[in-house]
Structure 1
Amino acid sequence: MATYNKRGYKPKTKKEQVEIVEEESTTAEVFNSLDEGASKAEEWAVKNQKYIIGIVAAIALIVLGYMAYNNFVAEPKQKEAMNEMYTAKKYFNDAVNGVSSDSLYRMALDGGEGKYGMLDIISNYSGTPAANLANYYAGMAYLNLKDYQNAITHLDNFSGNDKMLNPIAKGGIGDAFVQLNQSDKALEYYENAFKANVNDFTTPLYLLKAAKVAIELGDNSKALGYLTRIQTEFSTSNEVKDADILIGKVEASL
C-alpha cells in the first residue's frame, strides 16, 4: 500500500495529491456500481415478485405432494402388495422344494385359493418394489415350466442390487437362451451374472456355465480363463471338480 494511503497522511507533492484524488474517485465508482447493481436487482425482484412467489409455491407444492404420495399412497400400496404376494411366494417356495412342482409354479404365477399370483401383483401393483420382485419370481417360475420366452421377459424386467437375486436373474436369462439354442446370448448373460456380484455361490456357478458355452462356441481361450479362475479363486466350490476336468480337455485342444 502506498504511504499516502495511511490514515492522516498529507500529500507532499502535487503528484501525490492527484493520485489520491484518482484513487478515491475509483473507489467511489466501485461502490456506486455496487449500489446501482443492488438497486436494479431489488427493482427486478419487486417487478417480478408474483412470478417468484409462484415458482416458490410450485416447488413447495411438488415437495409436499411427493411426501404425501410416499406416505399415503406408495408405502401403503407397497405394504398391501407384499401382503398379497405372501401366498404366491409360498407356492413358489414349495415348488422349489419339489412338491408337485409344475402345478405349484403355475399357482405361483396365476394364484390360488382366492389369492393373487405373481402376474396379478405385476399387473395391479405396477411401479412398486413388490411388482419388481414379482417379475423375478414369475421369470423363474416360467423358466422351470420351460416357457423360456416369458422367463426372459420377466427376468429382464426385474431390476435390483440384491447380491443373490440380481446374478441369479441374469443367469436365469442365460439358461433360457441356452434352451433356445442362442449360445452367444447365453454367454453374454452368464458373463453378466458372474460380474454382477462376487460371492462363493453364484460366481463359480456362472463362471462354469460361461466356460461351457464358450467351449461350445469354439472360444477355448476364454473358457480356459474362466475355468482357471474357478480353480484359483473358488477352490472349495462345488464347481471346481468340473473345472479341473474341463481344463484338461481345453488345454489338450489348445
Structure 2
Amino acid sequence: MATYNKRGYKPKTQKEKVEIVEEESTTAEVFNSLDEGASKAEEWAVRNQKYIIGAVAIIALIVLAVMAYNKFVAEPKEKDAMNEMYTAKKYFNDAVSGVSSDSLYQMSLDGGEGKYGMLDIINNYGGTPAANLANYYAGMAYLNLKNYEKAISHLDDFSSDDKMLNPIAKGGIGDAFVQLNQSDKALEYYEKAFQANVNDYTTPLYLLKAAKVAISLGDNSKALGFLERIQSEFSTSNEMKDAEILIGKVEASL
C-alpha cells in the first residue's frame, strides 16, 4: 500500500488527492455491494423461512428415523440372525472336519434341532450382515455337495472385504466353473481370487489353480507368469513343489 494511505497522512499533490478519493469510492462501492447482497439474502430467508424450517425439520426427522431404525430394528434383527446361525455354522464346521460330511452340509443349509439353516437365514434376514455371511456358507456347502450352479449363485451374492473369505469365495466360484467345464470363467475367478488379497495361503493356492486352467486353455505364457510368481514370492508355500514341476513342463512347450 502506498505511504499516503497511512493514518494521519495528508496528500501533498493533486494526483494523490485524486487517488485517495478513487480508493475511498471503490471501497465504499464494495461495502455497498456486500450490504445489498446481505440484504437480499435476508429478504429471501424471511420470505422462505417456512420452507427452510420445514426442510430442516424433514432432515432432522429422517436422521432420527434412521437412528431409530438402526437401534430398534436393524440391530436386534442382526442379533437374532446371528443367534439363529449358530447351529447351522456348527453343522458346517463339523462337515469340514469330515464327519458325515454330506449330511451335515445339507443340515447346515436346511437347519436342524428346530434351528434355522443358512437358507432360512438368507430368506428371513435379508439385507443383514448375517444373511450375507450365510450366502458364503451356503455357497461352500453346495460346492461340497457338488451342486455347482447353486454354489456359484450363493457365492456370487456374498460380498466382503475380509482378507480370507473374499478370495476363498471367489476361488470357490472358480472351482465350481472347473467342475462345469467352463475353464475360461474358472480362470477369471481364480485371477480375482489371488488378486483380492495377497497372503501366504490363498494367493499361491489360486495362482497354482489359475496356472493349471491356463495350461488347459493352451495359454502357457500366462500360466508361466503365475507359476514364476509362486516361485519368486511364495517359495515356502505348499504349492511350490507343484509349481516347479509345471514350470519345467511349460518352459519345454514354449
TM-score band w.r.t. shorter chain:
over 0.9
**Hey, what's the Cα distance between the residues in 2 that align with 1:6 and 1:251?**
85
Amino acid at match of 1:227: L
Distance 1:6 1:178, change over 3 A: same
Alpha-carbon RMSD across the aligned residues, in angstroms, is 1.2
Amino acid at match of 1:187: L
How many residues in Structure 1 have an aligned counterpart in Structure 2? Answer: 254
**Hey, what's the Cα distance between the residues in 2 that align with 1:120 and 1:26?**
75
**Hey, what's the Cα distance between the residues in 2 that align with 1:185 and 1:223?**
15
Match of 2:160 in 1: 160
1:59 aligns with 2:59: yes
How far does the alpha carbon of each residue in 1:42-85 deviate from its partner, in whole angstroms, 9 at most, with x for none? 11111111111111111111211111111111111111100000
Percent identical: 88
How far does the alpha carbon of each residue in 1:162-217 deviate from its partner, in whole angstroms, 9 at most, with x for none? 11111110000000000100000000000100111111111111111000000000
Match of 2:73 in 1: 73
Counterpart of 1:12 in 2: which secondary structure? coil
**Hey, what's the Cα distance between the residues in 1 that align with 2:165 and 2:27?**
68
Match of 1:128 in 2: 128
**Hey, what's the Cα distance between the residues in 1 that align with 2:64 and 2:31?**
42
Distance 1:241 1:12, change over 3 A: closer
1:147 aligns with 2:147: yes
Match of 1:94 in 2: 94
**Hey, what's the Cα distance between the residues in 1 that align with 2:232 and 2:8?**
83
Counterpart of 1:86 in 2: which secondary structure? helix
Q: Which shifted more, 9-18 or 228-237?
A: 9-18
Q: Which shifted more, 117-126 or 231-240?
A: 231-240
Match of 1:117 in 2: 117
Distance 1:16 1:203, change over 3 A: closer
How far does the alpha carbon of each residue in 1:75-126 deviate from its partner, in whole angstroms, 9 at most, with x for none? 1111110000000011111111111111111111011111100000000000
Query: Which runs of 5 or more structure 2 residues have no equivalent in the other structure?
Result: none
**Hey, what's the Cα distance between the residues in 2 that align with 1:167 and 1:13?**
82
TM-score, structure 2 as length reference:
0.96
Amino acid at match of 1:18: V
Distance 1:236 1:12, change over 3 A: closer
Distance 1:244 1:3, change over 3 A: closer
How far 1:3 moved relative to its partner?
4.1
Counterpart of 1:243 in 2: which secondary structure? helix
Amino acid at match of 1:29: E
Counterpart of 2:12 in 1: which secondary structure? coil
